[in-house]
Amino acid sequence: MIFICWNLAWSQSLQEGKEAIYYRRYASAEKFFSNYLRHHPSDAEAVLLLSKTYLLENKITLAYATLKATPGSIAENPFVLVAKGAVCRAYNFSGDSCLHYFNQAIAATKGKDPDILKAAAEMEIISKNGNMQFALELAERALKKSKQEAPLYVIMGSAYRRLMKGGEAFKAYTTATYKDKGLAEAYYHLGEIFLSQENPEMYLKYFTNALDADKNYGPAMYELYSYYLYTKPDAEKAMQYFQSYMAVSDKNIRNEYALTDLLYLTENYEDAIKNAKKLISIEKDSVQPRIYKLAGYSYAESKDTAAALDFMRKYFHFEKDSNLIAKDFEMMALIFKSIPNCEDSTIKYYEHATALSKDSTLLVQYFKELAALAAAKKDFDSQAKWLGLYYSFSKNASNVDLFNWGISAFRSNDYSLADSVFGLYTEKYPEQEFGFYWRARTNAIIDSGMTAGLAIPYYTELIELIDPDSLSTTNKKWIIEAYGYMAAYEANTNENYDKAIEYFDKILEIDPGNENAKKYLSVLEATVKKDETN
């Protein structure tokens, strides 16, 4: 009784394995045919199908091993001969020697078995070194003898695509859909044609048609997932298609990586972290370093700074330097920015980010951040450097940004730079007093001995701009400073005491209680009177 049940268990057809190949669930197909052949080692078609599965997975040595293990009693079976021809192609042996196996298989059936003709055509197509013209001939011959025409038109379409005859491929695949409206594979291949042409309107239509024909056709789901992930980013839709794809596809590590990515993109950070840790546990030292980054980013979004820093440090340890991008350094900078007393590390990582970034929008953000960090440390040299870069690269830089650049240069004692920056300010904003005032102050320091009168033109411009009838507190302070400087220049450098007295009088008109003006005016008037007496 047990023996009979065992036989019945393995009397099933090969349809389950064939369906797994059709749906591109190659791991399932491999498992099915391997198990099947353990109990039916002389089933020649199963030998061919297992060999085909291995070749589709690019496991050429396993396909060869399958043939080596084949019983001698079926070595000349047409299905086995077709498998030999395909493996021969995979090893890129002489075209004639490989063709010999196919011709032997066809001759053994007197060219009348459509299944052998179809199998040979399919194996030619899946081989990188296949003879596409021969595949077309075989498919056309099979058409004359087979009632299942649609799959043969799919084979012909694929051969035409390999021959770079897109129009003929389109016709063949379209004919397949007419012959069998439920053949999702044909719609899928039509989508591939337009995908290669970067025509989203058309390839979306055909991939959707494939799912309308067969809701379980995973390859079409995968393409729609890819479209919404990369071409027209919509993380929610991408997740929907990917979850549908996972439900009908073999479980594999590649899918786990993709799912983890999608969990992060859909802001499901808790599950993204769980999946990332799961991958690290499974893959160990082989895990892709970017998974540490994904976990780090997810922890950062979850405001767990310590965990974010831990995973980002692991990412930087395991990832190749050439794969690091500006955003990685930015993330490290942001993490350290949130930790007290880590300004130096924050600056270091932002500087690395600026060195790597090719994105002008990101660059100006980094420059602004670095300028602010330098200002907080009273490192005015660095502040001037980063503000200068910000102003030079930012399309949205304002007069305030230009002014702050000049002030930082002034504070860093780089008076030559400050003069240039404030000079640019007066050119761009000649109606504003700020540029002239600070250019005057800068030149007063450059010409500390008042020998060249470098500040005089700018103080003069400042006075002309200020309305004496409506003085703000700042303008009053500036105009008093301007008159005072000009008075000192006239008295000390030009020895023009009368002119100096005029300037001090102007100060007293504005500020009658100004003690400095009164003191120096008294001195100058006494000097002039003494000179007149002499």
**Residue 108, exposed/middle/buried by CB under 10 A (0-12, 13-18, 19+)?**
middle
Handedness of CA 214, 215, 219, 220 (dihedral sign): positive
pLDDT at 384 over 80: yes
Choice among 2-16, 226-240, 339-353, 515-529 with the minimum mean pLDDT: 2-16
Question: Does residue 4 register a pLDDT over 80?
Answer: no
Distance between CA atoms of residues 205 and 398, nearest Å: 48
At residue 534, the pLDDT reads 62
3-state secondary structure of 373: helix
Domain count, the chain: 1
Supply the pLDDT for residue 8: 34
Tell me what pLDDT residue 314 has.
98
Tokens read off for 52: 């085909």
For residue 111, the model assigns a pLDDT of: 94
Contact 22, 185 (CB under 8 A): yes
C-alpha 379/C-alpha 382 separation (Å) is 6
Alpha-carbon distance of 49 to 18, in angstroms, equals 8
Token pair recorded at residue 204: 């979306």
Q: Is residue 97 one of the residues assigned to a domain?
A: yes
- Residue 11: is its pLDDT beyond 90? no
Is there a domain that residue 137 lies in?
yes
For residue 16, being part of any structural domain is answered with yes
Q: CA nearest 119: which of 95, 91, 137, 139? A: 139
In a domain, 414, yes or no: no
Query: What would the mean pLDDT of 305-320 be, rounded to a whole number?
Result: 98
Residue 404 in domain? no
Please say if the pLDDT value at position 1 is more than 80. no
Dihedral sign computed on CA atoms, order 111, 114, 117, 120: negative
DSSP 8-class letter at 27: H
Please give the pLDDT value at position 530: 79
- DSSP per-residue string spanning 328-350: HHHHHHHHHHTSTT-HHHHHHHH
| Joined tokens for residue 55 | 């070749």
Residue with tokens 């060195």: 355
| Interval 133-187: pLDDT, tens | 999 999 999 999 998 899 999 999 999 999 999 999 999 999 999 999 999 999 9
Question: Is residue 46 within 8 Å of residue 70, measured between CB atoms?
Answer: no
**pLDDT more than 70, % of the chain:** 97
Q: DSSP class of residue 322?
A: G
Would you say residue 451 has pLDDT above 90? yes
Residue 6 has pLDDT above 50, yes or no: no
Q: Cα separation of 274 and 259, whole Å? A: 11
pLDDT at 12: 55
Q: What is the pLDDT of residues 401-433, one digit of tens each?
A: 999 999 999 999 999 999 999 999 999 999 999
63-67, 322-326, 469-473: range with lowest mean pLDDT: 469-473
Domain that holds residue 97: 1-146
Q: What is the pLDDT at residue 469? A: 84
Span 231-259, mean pLDDT?
96
Amino acid letter, residue 79:
F
Q: In this structure, how many other beta carbons lie within 10 angstroms of the beta carbon of residue 134?
A: 17
414's torsion region: left (phi>0), alpha (psi -120 to 50) or beta?
A: beta
Mean pLDDT of 262-291: 97
**Which are the contacts of 25, defined by CB distance < 8 A and separation ≥ 6?**
218, 248, 249, 250
> Contact at 8 Å (CB) between 383 and 392?
no
- Per-residue pLDDT tens for 386-403? 999 999 999 999 999 999
Per the CB < 8 A criterion, the answer to whether 55 and 83 are in contact is no
Strand spans (E) along 125-178: none
CB proximity list for 234: less than 8 A, separation 6 or greater: 228
- Find tokens 């942001």 and name the residue: 334
Exposure of 337 in the CB half-sphere (CA atoms within 13 A): 18
Residue 351 CA to residue 5 CA, distance in Å, equals 72
Query: What is the overall mean pLDDT for the chain?
Result: 95
Cα 147 from Cα 239, distance rounded (Å): 40
**pLDDT, tens digit, 9 for 90 and up, residues 47-76:** 999 999 999 999 999 999 999 999 999 999
CATH of the domain at 125: 1.25.40.10
With a threshold of 0.85, does the pTM exceed it? Answer: no
CA distance 222 to 373: 46
> For residue 338, which of 390, 371, 295, 301 has the smallest C-alpha distance?
301
Task: Report d(CA 443, CA 431) in Å as an integer.
Answer: 20
- What is d(CA 319, CA 306) in angstroms, rounded to the nearest whole number? 20
As a whole number of angstroms, the distance between CA 511 and CA 319 comes to 68
CB 27 within 8 A of CB 222: no
**479 domain-assigned:** no
113 within a domain of the structure (yes/no): yes
User: Does 195 score more than 70 pLDDT?
Assistant: yes
Rounded to whole angstroms, how far apart are CA atoms 348 and 338? 15
10 pLDDT band, cuts 50/70/90, is very low
By the 8 A CB rule, do 69 and 39 touch? no
**Pair 285, 317: CB distance under 8 Å:** no
- The token duo for 460 is 């003069």
Mean pLDDT of 516-530: 90
Cα distance between residue 286 and residue 17, in whole Å:
31
406-410's contacts with Cβ under 8 Å and 24+ in sequence apart are: 406/435, 406/438, 407/438, 408/371, 408/375, 408/380, 408/383, 408/384, 409/380, 409/384, 410/438, 410/441, 410/442
206 belongs to a structural domain? no
pLDDT band at 507 (very low <50, low <70, confident <90, very high): very high
Q: Which residues contact 16 (CB under 8 A, 6 or more apart)?
A: 32
Are 87 and 56 spatial neighbours (Cβ–Cβ below 8 Å)? no
Under the banding of pLDDT at 50, 70 and 90, the label for residue 115 is very high
Nearest Cα to Cα of residue 28 among 19, 39, 40: 19
CB 49, CB 18: distance < 8 Å: yes
List, as one string, the DSSP characters of 273-296: HHHHHHHHHHHGGGS-THHHHHHH
